[in-house]
């Protein structure tokens, strides 16, 4: 079974920008969200994916992701996904042997910047960069499905 193990943080500094690779623009929408699972459609550049995520167990959860034709993704984003859609630019930043994904949200979620780091196991030690603030892994307000529908949590605390 595929398992996603990740931690998520608010970004409070600019130091990541100097080490970031080129950004990739994402548009994503959720077909379904529930306590036990979510189904997401995501398009970036010339690729698209459907992702099914299961219920969290700490920082881990089942995740299944499959590439789909971009034309299918566009149609699903247009007709099946809940509104509003989520748009962001993702940058990859290496720090202490791990790749951090920094998401800069645009549109109605402008101003929110989150960093995620995927791990090999839940107890893996993580060196926290100085541009990272409060951990929000367990805060449901910072899940993409919630941000899409509810917007940026207020107040935004670093």
- Please, are residues 50 and 37 in contact by the beta-carbon 8 Å criterion? no
Q: Please measure the distance between the N-terminal and C-terminal CA atoms of the chain and give it in whole angstroms.
A: 34
pLDDT in tens, the chain (158 residues): 699 999 999 999 999 999 999 999 999 999 998 888 999 999 998 999 999 999 989 999 999 999 999 999 999 999 999 999 999 999 999 999 999 999 999 999 999 999 999 999 999 999 999 999 999 999 999 999 899 888 888 765 55
In degrees, rounded to 5, the angle at the alpha carbon of residue 77 between the alpha carbons of residues 73 and 80 is 110
Q: Record the pTM.
A: 0.93
C-alpha distances out from residue 60 to 43, 45, 117, 125, Å: 24, 28, 12, 15
Beta strands in the chain (DSSP E): 3-11, 24-33, 37-44, 47-54, 60-68, 86-95, 98-105, 113-118, 132-135
CATH code given to domain 3-150: 2.40.320.10
pLDDT of res. 155: 61
């Amino acid at each position: 079974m595929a398992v996603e193990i990740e931690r998520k943080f608010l970004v409070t500094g600019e130091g990541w920008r100097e080490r970031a690779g080129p950004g990739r623009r994402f548009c994503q929408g959720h077909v379904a969200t529930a306590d036990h699972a979510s189904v997401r459609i995501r398009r970036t550049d010339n690729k698209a994916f459907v992702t099914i995520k299961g219920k969290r167990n700490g920082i881990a959860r089942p995740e299944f992701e499959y590439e789909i034709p971009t034309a299918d993704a566009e149609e699903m984003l247009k007709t099946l996904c809940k509104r509003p859609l989520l748009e962001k630019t993702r940058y990859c930043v290496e720090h202490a042997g791990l790749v951090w994904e920094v998401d800069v949200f645009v549109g109605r979620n402008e101003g929110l910047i989150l960093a995620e780091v995927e791990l090999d196991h839940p107890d893996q030690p993580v060196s926290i960069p100085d541009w990272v603030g409060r951990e929000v892994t367990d805060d449901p307000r910072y899940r993409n499905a919630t941000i899409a529908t509810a917007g940026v949590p207020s107040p935004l605390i670093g």
